[in-house]
Structure 1
Amino acid sequence: MRPGTGTTVAGDYPDISDHGIIGDLQTAALIDRDGTIDWFCCPRFDSPTVFGSLVDAERGGFCRISPDADDFVTKQLYLPDTAMLVTRFLTEAGVGEVIDFMPVTGGEATDVHQLVRMVRVVRGTMTFVGEIQPRFDFGRAPHTVDIVNGAAITFSSDVGRLTLHRIGDPVLHDGQRAGHITPSGDGVRITITLDAGETTGVVLTSGDVEPRQMPQEELEELYHRTRRYWREWTDASTYTGRWREYVSRSAITLKLMTYAPTGALVAAPTAALPEQVGGERNWDYRYTWIRDASFSVYALLCLGHVEEAEAFVKWLMDRIHESVGDDSGPLKIMYRIDGSSDLVEETIGDLEGYRGSRPVRIGNGAADQLQLDIYGEAMSAIHLADTHGLELPHRGWDQVRDMLDWVCDHWGEPEEGIWETRGGKQHFTYGRFMCWVALDRGIRLAQRRGRPASIERWTAERDRIYEEIMSTGWNPERGAFVQHLDTDVLDASLLLMPLMGFVAPRDPMWLSTMAAMEETLVSDSLVYRYDPSASPDGLRGSEGTFTLCSFWYVDALARSGHTGRARYTFEKMLTYANHLGLFSEEIGLTGEQLGNFPQAFSHLALINAAVNLDYQLDHGSGDVEPVLWRGRRDA
């Protein structure tokens, strides 16, 4: 039984894919098919949990609204072109809906956030039972419960406060008062009986607010304002290709994971969801990776969302400005959404983890790793933004110059690599290839804008990197570019080589690499990032295929002239989305979603693959020009 059904059984968890996401551009909540909010951090993405039963069914806390019935069927969908989630319940007696959404806050950071749960019946009669059991700070902070005049409830702890506001007057049904509130353990229980056409609900508000009964008109105004915001945002998209529904849902999902006050994009709204159920690969993804967010600039500009791309580039430049001259280099690999870099990793021993997947980690110990590839991704984003009119000011160019001079000095060092392995530093091919990208984009930018730069030095180091990759990154026995110079292991990150212009997509060396990857890393349409059994990464257990690598494979196929295979592979990948079109980080052997959910990298890779595949299909397999670069080529 799921929490709130009368008996809570430890270890009873929904599938990771059984969730939708809602949010207000500062935080987000996950809601499963039976109407349970089992993940909600507040007031920010990277704050402690208020509801966290997704990582501990008994001690994590939840908010559930579902029919008071033993047998019902559920369906979920989003209101079209919005982030408003509808969970439908079908019984013989009636059909009811819970519409969950968060009114979008402004660009200023705030502790006050509203989570609206609108309840209505569209056929027959239905009694809903709601149970609210908050557990602050991953269940570590006790709280008190106060019922205020039967109209509102406050849950107060030393680390946060949550207020539940009832909507409108209690409904009389068969002579009984619906909307009755009773204490239930460390929470409350609410019953709501409605006939067809009736609507009510509750609003959960964080922060220090006055408990009150909210009028029905206010609920309706929140509903219409939120729906209008999302429809206006999606209407601004310029994408008109073949996969509008999936691209639109991916774009909305990326928007939901953007922290509006700074423009930073979190990798995922969740922490500690496992890459292997029962394993230890359970990481906290509620932070901004330079790599992931930089790739988002391409996706956002593809769709015409220039404002979001500009906000992230500004955030990125602020990080470069703050860090130039540090011993650790110009950039850290990840930051909190406010730009701070305190990501100390800890484990919460009292939580059992999703389906027993311990440890439950918060913070991220990989934050201080040296990963050289981030400079290529950052410069690619800065260069691309510049081609779309988002030019760097003088101060920004000075920061970029200092960063690229640092890359010239350090590109040959061993590092931890894109996959943040914990098995020791290596001379990763991908890291060096992306250092080539960093210098190449810096040279183009300096030449196009006539900016002062160490062009001769940058060019010499760029060419040295190229020659080294072609000699030490190429393994003649394997007939492929390999993960690092001391191995013959293949690495799916190198699928980006043709996209970034490092190698021609029909170069025999690249076609040979693709063939080797297809034999070793590709399983049907799914792609493993590497073979951990052949390349120890310092962690126990295995993992699923990486969704973003699968979409990279689609793009590599199309650029290599295999547009038919690329389209078929892309269509098959779409079948692995959940019922709402959402993807986690990985896909297991039987198609299950694994890892933190939903995953920004997966969705931005989907957008990029769709846009580029559209271009290849429309312009013929002989033309490999990326759609964003058409008509914008550098000299």
Structure 2
Amino acid sequence: MDTTPEPRPDGYADLRGYAAIGDGRTVALIARDGQIDWFPVPDLTTPPLFAALLDAERGGRFLLRPVGDFTATRQYVDHTNVLRTHFTTSTGQVAVTDALVTGIAGRLPWTQLVRRIEGVTGSVEMTWCVEPGNVLGDHAVTRFDTGSVPLLRAESIDIALVTGDAGRQDPVHPGNGPATDWSADFRGAFTTHEGSRHVLALMGTQDEPVHVPTVETADASIERTIEGWQAWSSHFDWQGPWQEQVHRSALALKLLLHSPTGAIAAAATTSLPESFTKAKNYDYRFAWVRDLSYTVDAMLRFGLTEEPHAAVSWLLKALKHGTKDGMAVFFDLQGQEVDDVRRSDAAGWRGHGPVLTGNDASGQLQLGNYADAMRLLEAYLSRGNLIDESSSDLLVRLADEVCARWKDKDSGMWELPQRRHYVSSKMACWQALEAACRLHDMGYVLPPDGARKRWERAQRRIRRWVEKHGWDERRGTYLMYKGGDALDTSVLLHTVSGFDRGERMSRTIDAIRAELGAGPLVYRYSGMRSEEATFTACAFWTAAALACVGRLDEAVTLMDELVRLPNDVGLMTEQIEEGTDAFRGNTPQALSHLALIQAASTIHQLS
């Protein structure tokens, strides 16, 4: 169905309207009107030269669209992350194919974005503009005249544009050398006709020379990239229900996998607001232990091997070299700890700041991360893989830390500032020790004599604690924390973990849906209805939990509703607004897509 892209009276596009393309190092977000509003070059964590998503006036954009009114339809090329958009005007139709391309030997050592414009019918006047900004950096963009290919530079980042016959219009150069007082952008216009073909290719590097391909080479790289994605998808094995949505979620996760290291970013963006009344803006361009664990499990279920190995290796190295006391919450994509947050003067999406670089949750104690790390290794090793001696020693140390620390207050899964005895954290400690015991029995973890019995004793103590302090018989539900009366949807994760698949958890599902539910959607925990939108992953956790407690028909019915939540190209943000289904928070969000995959897999396994 044709859709008229929403107007931009304030310069911002609706978050539900973004599609994403990527190359294993960075991600570009493309609105329905064809404008790229987010594109860090060359890495996801590089200060983005294209960030109109966060500052419409100064952020920078790559505009490409018909002149005048148009409608647009779009979809990914089958089994790829290459986007194809058809624009229709009163005079004709044009197809635009967008890709962050790969090379002959795989991932390119530089970033190369290619936009192919093909005339389909009639004639269409097209306009384009590459207008960099630098609101998350510290240096202005300057332009250099190199002759045939102008160069834009922002400190150590260089970008060049190959345009062929796409009608590039150069401003008048005021003199020799850096162009600091003239338009630091590229722009142009051309007209398509049936069978015509134009190409725009943008190359970006940091502290490196810039390779400049020919138009023909850039054009051919799109087909090579399509073939690469389809080859990857051909190894994707999923025979269960909701195949289209599960496969698209796997492709979304693949966009967030940082191929140089094996890490997975929690999302491709920073500072998209979760609330319009509270300052809930966060930078998610880091690798959370939790997300990595879920990703490895999902990829292994799909028969993939290379990504899980890279992710496991990355995490083990990061944990071994970490310096913080206890389990780290997340690392940067290179495996280093993060300990600073910088605030930009960018306006924020539709004025909802702040815009941040960095995340201050790094210093928290989150006991659930022990379970995430242990579960990751259990999933990896249960497929017949092997572990090195130092990693085995690390797992023993982590299990012993759980025994010592499970009684501590922590910040919980939701990274809350007030430490409490969160029930889901205690359940996660039980899960961590359950995984440690299984790894011991499989022969992968060889602790000193008596350690396994110590782990089992701690498990029993944790269960007794939860039964005494985490259950409210009067209300028939597990609570969020000891001594409180709030509810927490993250408790439902521990149906899948195996902590409880009985009557108590079934009653908890009903209590959560009654108090925190909004149709098929669910809020994170008590009190959030007045502060933020529903949390996308929580709805899928509910579906998985229903299956685990034996309520399969309800799980399937709910899942059938939930798989309609993604946007027109199958992507999801962190949160979805009750009543309007508007997107909130960073995008695409790994945890949302992981929750869809987990729910589908759990329901399929138990059916």
**Contact 1:182-1:190 at 8 Å conserved across structures:** no
1:325-404 correspondence runs (5 A): 326=323, 328-329=325-326, 331-348=327-344, 350-404=345-399
Amino acid at match of 2:504: M
Amino acid at match of 1:502: F
1:325-346 Cα deviation digits (max 9, x unpaired): x5521x2101100001134112
**Contact 1:289-1:334 at 8 Å conserved across structures:** yes
2:563 aligns with one of 549, 555, 574:
574
1:59-85 Cα deviation digits (max 9, x unpaired): 11111011122x111112111111101
Residues 1:447 and 2:441 are matched in the alignment:
yes
Distance change in 2, residues 1:603/1:533 (3 Å)? closer
Instruction: Find the aligned partners of 2:136 and 2:498 in 1 and give their Cα distance.
Output: 45
Tell me how far 1:105 sits from its aligned partner.
6.4
TM-score by length of structure 2 reads: 0.93
**Contact 1:60-1:139 at 8 Å conserved across structures:** no
Amino acid at match of 2:343: T
Instruction: Find the aligned partners of 2:105 and 2:311 in 1 and give their Cα distance.
Output: 14
Distance change in 2, residues 1:479/1:353 (3 Å)? same
Tell me how far 1:185 sits from its aligned partner.
3.5
Instruction: Find the aligned partners of 2:594 and 2:334 in 1 and give their Cα distance.
Output: 22
Partner of 1:485: 482
**Contact 2:159-2:210 at 8 Å conserved across structures:** no
**Contact 2:37-2:51 at 8 Å conserved across structures:** yes
Partner of 1:433: 427
1:578-619 Cα deviation digits (max 9, x unpaired): 1101110010021111100110011111111112222333xx
Partner of 2:534: 545
Tell me how far 1:147 sits from its aligned partner.
4.4
Partner of 1:584: 573
Tell me how far 1:8 sits from its aligned partner.
8.5
**Contact 1:279-1:358 at 8 Å conserved across structures:** no
Residues 1:458 and 2:455 are matched in the alignment:
yes
Partner of 1:231: 230
Residues 1:200 and 2:198 are matched in the alignment:
yes
SS in 2 for 1:275: coil
Tell me how far 1:441 sits from its aligned partner.
0.6
Instruction: Find the aligned partners of 2:506 and 2:201 in 1 and give their Cα distance.
Output: 56
Distance change in 2, residues 1:65/1:209 (3 Å)? farther
Instruction: Find the aligned partners of 1:327 and 1:161 in 2 and give their Cα distance.
Output: 36
**Root mean square deviation, CA, Å:** 2.1
Distance change in 2, residues 1:201/1:217 (3 Å)? closer
1:129 aligns with one of 127, 132, 136:
127
1:546-625 correspondence runs (5 A): 546-589=535-578, 590-617=580-607
Instruction: Find the aligned partners of 1:49 and 1:24 in 2 and give their Cα distance.
Output: 16
Tell me how far 1:562 sits from its aligned partner.
2.1
Partner of 2:178: none
Instruction: Find the aligned partners of 1:104 and 1:304 in 2 and give their Cα distance.
Output: 23
Residues 1:525 and 2:514 are matched in the alignment:
no
Partner of 2:176: none
Instruction: Find the aligned partners of 1:616 and 1:78 in 2 and give their Cα distance.
Output: 31
Distance change in 2, residues 1:444/1:298 (3 Å)? same
**Contact 2:489-2:512 at 8 Å conserved across structures:** yes
Distance change in 2, residues 1:378/1:113 (3 Å)? same
Instruction: Find the aligned partners of 1:486 and 1:276 in 2 and give their Cα distance.
Output: 28
1:161-220 Cα deviation digits (max 9, x unpaired): 1111123xx37xxxxxx44444784323211222111111111111244575x4343133
Amino acid at match of 1:546: F
Partner of 1:632: none
SS in 1 for 2:42: coil
Instruction: Find the aligned partners of 1:451 and 1:386 in 2 and give their Cα distance.
Output: 11
SS in 2 for 1:498: helix
SS in 2 for 1:189: strand
- Matched-pair identity in %: 31
Distance change in 2, residues 1:444/1:419 (3 Å)? same
SS in 2 for 1:321: helix
**Contact 2:540-2:559 at 8 Å conserved across structures:** yes
Partner of 1:287: 286
SS in 2 for 1:50: coil
Instruction: Find the aligned partners of 1:430 and 1:244 in 2 and give their Cα distance.
Output: 31
Instruction: Find the aligned partners of 2:104 and 2:332 in 1 and give their Cα distance.
Output: 19
Tell me how far 1:139 sits from its aligned partner.
5.8
Tell me how far 1:560 sits from its aligned partner.
2.1
Residues 1:158 and 2:147 are matched in the alignment:
no
Amino acid at match of 1:544: A
Instruction: Find the aligned partners of 2:229 and 2:426 in 1 and give their Cα distance.
Output: 41
Amino acid at match of 2:289: I
Partner of 1:241: 240
Distance change in 2, residues 1:203/1:560 (3 Å)? same
Partner of 1:13: 12
Tell me how far 1:477 sits from its aligned partner.
2.8
Amino acid at match of 2:419: K
Instruction: Find the aligned partners of 1:101 and 1:32 in 2 and give their Cα distance.
Output: 14
Amino acid at match of 2:426: R
Tell me how far 1:277 sits from its aligned partner.
3.4
Instruction: Find the aligned partners of 2:556 and 2:601 in 1 and give their Cα distance.
Output: 12
Instruction: Find the aligned partners of 1:566 and 1:451 in 2 and give their Cα distance.
Output: 36
1:463-500 Cα deviation digits (max 9, x unpaired): 11111111111122322111110211110001112210
* Number of residue equivalences: 587
**Contact 1:137-1:159 at 8 Å conserved across structures:** no
Distance change in 2, residues 1:225/1:109 (3 Å)? closer
Instruction: Find the aligned partners of 2:506 and 2:600 in 1 and give their Cα distance.
Output: 22
SS in 1 for 2:124: strand
Instruction: Find the aligned partners of 1:356 and 1:160 in 2 and give their Cα distance.
Output: 27
Instruction: Find the aligned partners of 1:280 and 1:107 in 2 and give their Cα distance.
Output: 44
Amino acid at match of 1:470: E
SS in 2 for 1:493: helix
2:86 aligns with one of 85, 88, 105:
88
Distance change in 2, residues 1:126/1:20 (3 Å)? same
Distance change in 2, residues 1:468/1:203 (3 Å)? same
Distance change in 2, residues 1:40/1:86 (3 Å)? same
**Contact 1:262-1:315 at 8 Å conserved across structures:** yes
For structure 1, list consecutive stretches of 5 or more residues without a partner in the other structure. Answer: 172-177, 535-540, 618-635
SS in 1 for 2:307: helix
SS in 2 for 1:49: coil
Amino acid at match of 1:449: G
Distance change in 2, residues 1:88/1:498 (3 Å)? same
Amino acid at match of 2:473: P
Instruction: Find the aligned partners of 2:550 and 2:8 in 1 and give their Cα distance.
Output: 54
Instruction: Find the aligned partners of 1:316 and 1:12 in 2 and give their Cα distance.
Output: 40
